[in-house]
Amino acid sequence: MTKEVTIYDIAKRLNYSPATVSRALNDHPAIRGETKELINATAQQMGYRSNTFASNLRRQKTSTLGIIVPRLNSNFMSRVLAGMEKAANDASYNLIITQSLESEIKEVANAKTLFDSRVDGLLVSVAYNTESNEHFETFIRRGVPVLFFDRVIQHPKCVSVSIDNEMAGYEATRHLLEQGCRRIAHITGIMRRNVYGDRLAGYRRALNEQALSVDDSLVVESDLSFEAGYQAGQAILAMPNRPDGIFVANDFCAAGCMLALKQAGISIPGDMAIVGFNDDPVAQVISPRLTTVHYAGEKMGEIAARSLINFLNGLQDIQATNRIVLRSELVVRESSVRRGK
């Protein structure tokens, strides 16, 4: 392995002191311009690399944020990360991005890696099956701020950035009711995650407002994959008293459900009206196009990262508010609109 070039090697080559070389490489005003040019040109020729990591450690700052997301192959999460990247670039911060693959074990390992990497702050959207927050307490005890986004854990010393999922679930279900649906199924994710528990609460509230009883047999818990949606569609087809509307907590899952129903000859929205969630690109390429809940992932990522960076730079007290709530909107398309309604 080739030996790393140091400032001492450059100093020896040019017959300067190491201190002069160091100052020139850091653009110190005490060093003449011609000397800086010579030292920088020699450093480049010799293959010198600045040890930014060591320099940052001396200042007790790495200008790096750690990120843990459930999946990287998610259109929504890609938009979130684009927003975080923009905020980080604007503030000259770097990002280390990891994915938990929906596993608490992997999430714990990622958290340890990021802690050992001495990130200045941590941004997290938790995995499906995460139950403990102990792996985040390590950061909190050391004064490293943790901000949760989208799938959040409520913590008195942490801030969360999300939409009002209860209201979004309510509006999606109310829309189906307005289309004449009276027996509405809900395909959701694991209940320990705030996003799915809150969307279910909104679904229940909309039904209760119309004095409709909530039939627990119509609430299907799944991993919200395309395959899970297809299986849920088959299960709905097997019901003796089929629903006339379906609210699905994820667009890919909704697409899988629609495929199963259409293969069985079900008319959408005539026999069953369907609403999804997230406004992923699949919502506009399936037929009929899917009514869904839209919320800006890039804006969520940008606000989350900027809030954390402003706190680190002493420009904002993110702990003054424990929760940042962003807007969402129902985007109505053909999958839910019945003629005459």
SS3 per-residue string spanning 55-105? HHHHCCCCCEEEEEECCCCCHHHHHHHHHHHHHHHHCCCEEEEEECCCCHH
Q: Is the pLDDT of residue 337 over 90?
A: yes
State the CB neighbour count (10 A cutoff) for residue 23. 19
pLDDT tens figures, 143-152: 899 999 999 9
For residues 307 and 324, the answer to whether their CB atoms sit within 8 Å is yes
Is it the case that residue 59 has pLDDT exceeding 70?
A: no
Q: What are the residue boundaries of the structural domains of the chain, listed by start?
A: 7-50, 63-163+297-326, 165-295
Q: What is the pTM of this model?
A: 0.79
pLDDT of the residue at 119: 92
Residue 247, sorted as left (phi over 0), alpha (psi -120 to 50) or beta, turns out to be beta
- Which band of pLDDT confidence, cut at 50, 70 and 90, is reported for residue 38? very high
What CATH number has the domain spanning 7-50? 1.10.260.40
Same fold: 7-50 with 63-163+297-326? no
Homologous superfamily of the 63-163+297-326 domain (CATH) = Response regulator (3.40.50.2300)
Which residue did the predictor score with more confidence, 183 or 25?
Answer: 183
Superfamily of domain 165-295: Response regulator (3.40.50.2300)
